[in-house]
Amino acid sequence: MSLTTENIKIISFDVKDIRFPTSLEAHGSDAMHTDPDYSCAYVTIKLKTGLEGHGLTFTCGRGTEIVVAACKSLSDLIVGQVVSDIYKDFGGFWRSLTSESQLRWVGPEKGVIHLATAAIINALWDLWGKLLNKPVWQLLADLEPEQLVSTIDFRYLSNVITKEEAVELLRRGRVGKEERMNQLLALGYPAYTTQAGWLGYSDETIYDLANKYMEQGFNAFKVKVGKNLFQDIKRLELIRNTIGWDRILMVDANQIWEVQEAIDWMKQLSHFKILWIEEPTSPDDVLGHAEIAKALKPLGIGVATGEMCCNRVLFKQFLQANALEYCQIDSARIGGVNEILSVYLMCKKLGVKVCPHAGGVGLCEMVQHLQMWDYVALSGTMDGRFIEYVDQQHDQFVNPTIVENACYMAPRTPGYSTTLKPEAISAYENIP
């Protein structure tokens, strides 16, 4: 497709409420979300030619209908657009969604309206990949630095990163790109798994799943904590006895603690050799995270957060305040790919590792593209980084993630890997 000559209009917009009953077996459960039904608002954007882009934002069941309503409210801004005009000034188009003069009042750039933006923007990236016949990671890696930067709205970021600096980082990131691309295609990108560590799982299930994933080559495991200290200690004893002490272990509290409580709790768990504590407290509490990070650093425990960080500005503050060591971008939150790119660029500039969040439906499918682009064309390294892997609902997607030897294999099919199978939609659509 030529970006300048193509004159195809978007003719329709559809959004569906899809819910998988994962709570029945406690999949995805944590200290705060005790019974998640992995769900999504699933957007389809159709061109006059019949080509469709699909995008989604992850939800936990109830409430998906609110995100669906927000997607519908934004749809007037999409239908009738010439698609090449969007990609010519994707940053400007992104701003037209997030700064719509009346809708912005119900955000701005946060909550349900921003989740809806993510679903729509993700669909547009899927469509762009399909138009150019490239998987999104490769599309991103092939964009000229100026073109990639033009997809980003830098408003509110200039005290940390400017467009010019971003272009420069991307130019430098290109050195050795071909070699890294070949390595990625041959070996994939390392993953860790949370699938053995959901809070609602029995000891037997944790033991069996930890063994299963070790047999598949996994060397890094994440376990949920935070409900009961005694039970956490028992669970971590079980997991360490199973995986040994050479494998990597992370824990995730999903925002349950007060700041001091987080510090005290983690001191009781520190002898389990924990790489990071994830979401120890409110996802909005930048200074609280900074306090926790400072207190736990001498124990060798880093702070990870980001899956519920609402936008690039909050990420900026976390980075400015040294409040996180591991940045966990979430592909279906903030305003989709465009805004996430700005977070990667800030992390690159400030030397922070990105380890994407993927506990949810479709998140593994999407984040792999972002992290692979980062490796090939920005950070140029996998050191100390891995992508979360959760074994949920992959079979519902037309192009599911492929994980071999605990590594995500690079997607080869065009788009963002976000197309659900028609039979998944008909079986799991929630029709009120």
Ligand X SMILES: C[C@H](O)[C@@H](O)CC(=O)C(=O)O
Residue among 36, 61, 306, 380 that touches ligand X (CB under 6 A): 36
Compute the residue count for the chain.
Answer: 432
- 307 binding ligand X? (CB under 6 A): yes
Residue among 306, 359, 414, 415 that touches ligand X (CB under 6 A): 359
CB-nearer residue toward ligand X: 97 or 249? 249
224 is catalytic: yes
CB-nearer residue toward Mg ion: 22 or 338? 22
Give residues 153-212 in contact with ligand X (rule: CB under 6 A). 194
Q: What sign for the dihedral angle of Cα 69, 70, 76, 79?
A: negative
Nearest distance from residue 307's CB to Mg ion, in Å? 5
- 365 binding Mg ion? (CB under 5 A): no
Backbone φ and ψ of 48, nearest 5°: -55, -30
Tell me the residue nearest to ligand X as measured from the CB: 359
CB-nearer residue toward Mg ion: 37 or 278? 278
Phi-psi region of 53 (alpha: psi -120 to 50; beta: other; left: phi over 0): beta
Q: Which of 222, 219, 229, 236 is nearest to 256 (CA)?
A: 229
DSSP 40: E
Q: Alpha-carbon dihedral of residues 309, 55, 167, 172, nearest 10 degrees?
A: 90
- 306 binding ligand X? (CB under 6 A): no
Q: Which stretch binds ligand X (CB under 6 A): 8-16, 87-95, 353-361, 406-414?
A: 353-361
Residue 33's binding partner out of ligand X, Mg ion, none, with CB under 5 to 8 Å set by partner kind: ligand X
Residue among 64, 138, 150, 254 that touches ligand X (CB under 6 A): 254
Give the count of alpha carbons within 13 A of 304, CB side only.
Answer: 28
316 is catalytic: no
Residue among 153, 252, 325, 339 that touches Mg ion (CB under 5 A): 252
> Which two structure tokens, joined as six digits, stand for 338?
């465009």
Q: Which of 368, 253, 232, 348 is nearest to 305 (CA)?
A: 253
> Which two structure tokens, joined as six digits, stand for 235?
């669970």
CB-nearer residue toward ligand X: 140 or 251? 251
Q: Which stretch binds ligand X (CB under 6 A): 29-37, 170-178, 266-274, 393-401?
A: 29-37
Residue among 333, 348, 357, 385 that touches ligand X (CB under 6 A): 357
Instruction: Please identify which of the residues 224, 316, 353, 369 carries the catalytic annotation.
Output: 224
Q: Which of 205, 192, 278 is nearest to 27 (CA)?
A: 205
Question: Quick check: 430 and 17 in contact, CB under 8 A?
Answer: yes
- 391 binding ligand X? (CB under 6 A): no
Give me the 361-390 binding string for ligand X, x by CB under 6 A, dash otherwise: ---------------------------x--
For residue 205, the SS3 value is: helix
CB-nearer residue toward ligand X: 60 or 303? 60
Residue 60's binding partner out of Mg ion, ligand X, none, with CB under 5 to 8 Å set by partner kind: ligand X
Q: Are strands 276-278 and 39-47 parallel, antiparallel or unpaired?
A: unpaired
Q: Dump the DSSP string for 245-283.
A: SSSEEEEE-TT-S-HHHHHHHHHHHGGG--SEEE--S-T
> Which two structure tokens, joined as six digits, stand for 157?
């970021």
CB-nearer residue toward ligand X: 61 or 415? 61
Q: Which of 147, 186, 193 is nearest to 170 (CA)?
A: 147
CB-nearer residue toward ligand X: 184 or 314? 314
Nearest distance from residue 168's CB to ligand X, in Å? 33
Question: Which residues lie near Mg ion (CB under 5 A)?
Answer: 252, 278
* Residues labelled as active-site residues: 224, 357
Question: Which residues lie near ligand X (CB under 6 A)?
Answer: 28, 30, 33, 36, 60, 194, 252, 254, 278, 307, 357, 359-360, 388
